[in-house]
Amino acid sequence: MKDILRPIYQERASQANTLGVLIIEKNKPVSPVTDNFDVILLVIASEADQPWYVKHYEFDDKKAAMHIVDEQLLTYWIDTSTYRRAVEWVINGRIVFDRNEYVARLKEELSSFPQEKRELKMAMEFAKLTRSYSESKDLYQTDQYLDAYSRVIRSLHYLARLAIIEKGYHPEVVVWNQVKRIDIEVYKLYEELINSNEEIKKRVELMLLALEFAMSTRAKKCAAHLLEIMNSKQEAWTFGELKIHPEIEPYALDLSSMLEYLTEKGIIEPVREETKGKMIYHRKYRAVSV
C-alpha cells in the first residue's frame, strides 16, 4: 500500500513547506480512527494555502484520504482535543517523510505530555463535566429520567477522558477500552450504570452521587489552569474578563458552570462590587487563598 501511495506523498514531500508525512492504516473492519478509510496520509505543512485540505483516492478496491494540515491548526487540535483523530494519527502514524525531525519531536512531545498542556486539557474536560453533571441533576429533579440517564452517560464519558489525562495519556477516540486499562474505578462506574438491574431512576440517582464524589475529589487539581490565571492579578475578575482571556478560550463555553461549581466548593469566592443601582452589585470572582 505504501508503494502505491508513494508518488502522492513524495510529491508533497518535495515541497519546501512540507514538514512531515505520516501513514495510518486501517487495522480492523470498522475503524473510526481512519473514518473507515483503508489508509490516511497526514501531511503537515507550514503556512499552507488552506488550514485543512482533504483529498480522497481509490486504488485496488481500497480508499485513501490525504489530509494536508497547517502546523498551527494541528497544534490547536492537539492542545484543545478539537479533532482527536489527529492526535492518534501523530502518535500511531508511521513516518514516511520528516524534515529536520519535526515529526519525531512532535511525537516525543505528545508522549511526554507536558504539565501545562495536561492542565489545560483537564480544565477543559472538567468544565464540560460540570455542565453535563448540572444538566443531569436538573433532568433527574424534574422527573426526566431517560434524558437524565443519557446525560449521565455523557458525564461519565467526560470523567473517563479526565481520568486518562490525569494519568498522563491523551484520550483516544475509543475511550472506554482505554480507560479500562488506565483507571478501573471509573470504568466500573460505567459498567454499574449500564449493567445494573435497578430501574432507570435509581441508576441515575446512584450515579449522580458517584459523579459528585469523583468531581469534588478532583476539583482543585482540575481547576489548576484556571486558578493560575486568576492568581496572576490581585484584583477580582469579572466573568467577562475571564471569558475573553486567550488561555481560557478553549473552555469559555463551559466556564460559567465551572465557576459556579468551584464557587459552591469554596475553591473560588464571589466578590461583590457596588453599582450605581441600589442593592445591586457586580459579581466578581477570585481564587481562595490556602
DSSP string, 89-104: HHHHPEEEEEGGGHHH
Count of beta carbons in the 10 Å neighbourhood of residue 194: 10
pLDDT of residue 111: 87
Chain segment 59-83, per-residue pLDDT in tens: 888 999 999 999 999 999 998 888 8
Residue 1 pLDDT exceeds 70: no
Among 56-65, 157-166, 167-176, 193-202, name the one with the lowest average pLDDT.
167-176
CATH superfamily of 115-287: Nucleotidyltransferases  domain 2 (1.20.120.330)
pLDDT over 90 at 122, yes or no: yes
pLDDT at 104: 96
CA dihedral 244, 247, 249, 252 (to 10 degrees): -80
C-beta separation of 178 from 166 below 8 A: no
pLDDT at 97 over 70: yes
Over residues 19-29, the mean pLDDT reads 91
Residue range 31-58: average pLDDT? 92
Is CATH 3.30.230.10 correct for 2-112? no
pTM of the shown model: 0.86
pLDDT band at residue 267 using 50, 70 and 90 as cut-offs: very high
CA distances 11 to 25, 59, 65, Å, are 20, 18, 15
Confidence of residue 9 (pLDDT cuts 50, 70, 90): confident
Q: Give just the sign of the alpha carbon dihedral 71, 73, 76, 81.
A: negative
Instruction: Read off the C-alpha cell for 190.
Output: 460505567
Paired strand residues for 137: none
Environment class of 156 (CB within 10 Å of its CB; exposed 0-12, middle 13-18, buried 19+):
buried
Band of residue 2 on the pLDDT scale cut at 50, 70, 90: low
Sketch the domain layout of the chain as residue ranges.
Answer: 2-112, 115-287
Which range has the worst mean pLDDT, 35-44, 123-132, 238-247, 277-286?
277-286
Dump strand ranges (E) for 144-280.
237-238, 268-274
Residue 40, phi then psi, degrees to nearest 5: -115, 135
Residues paired with residue 45 on neighbouring β-strands, in sequence order: 18, 70
